[in-house]
Amino acid sequence: QKEVEQNSGPLSVPEGAIASLNCTYSDRGSQSFFWYRQYSGKSPELIMFIYSNGDKEDGRFTAQLNKASQYVSLLIRDSQPSDSATYLCAVRGNYGQNFVFGPGTRLSVLP
């Protein structure tokens, strides 16, 4: 059974700081890696995905992937109180394999 692990948090950062969220996965055959944001009482929404080693930037968000270490992270620059949510890491294998989600990290950005 594939496993995806995240620190449950809460992770508290002051407004304007960089929030760093981490995720590790057990299946070396995993191909695609996703970060979803979930506000309380809402369904998950995609922030970004990454499938190659290195960094991928989208606005204030940067995803980092290191397949050798089986590690993926999400950096949020200039954190805003509206970024306060649970961030879910999801991992997908080869064709047809399902997404496996981590337990999520709760982020709190303090004004």
Partner 1 sequence: EAGVAQSPRYKIIEKRQSVAFWCNPISGHATLYWYQQILGQGPKLLIQFQNNGVVDDSQLPKDRFSAERLKGVDSTLKIQPAKLEDSAVYLCASSLGRTRQVYSGNTIYFGEGSWLTVV
* Residues at the interface with partner 1 (CB under 8 A): 4, 31-32, 34, 42-46, 49, 51, 88, 92, 94-104
Q: What is the DSSP letter of 42?
A: S
Q: How far is the CB of 66 from partner 1 (least distance, A)?
A: 18
Q: In the chain, what is the straight-line distance between the N-terminal and C-terminal CA atoms, in Å? A: 40
Q: How far is the CB of 9 from partner 1 (least distance, A)?
A: 11
Nearest to 109 by CA among 59, 39, 57: 39
Q: Of 18 and 46, which has the nearer Cβ to partner 1?
A: 46
Q: How far is the CB of 35 from partner 1 (least distance, A)?
A: 11
Q: Give the span between the Cα atoms of 77 and 74, in whole angstroms.
A: 10
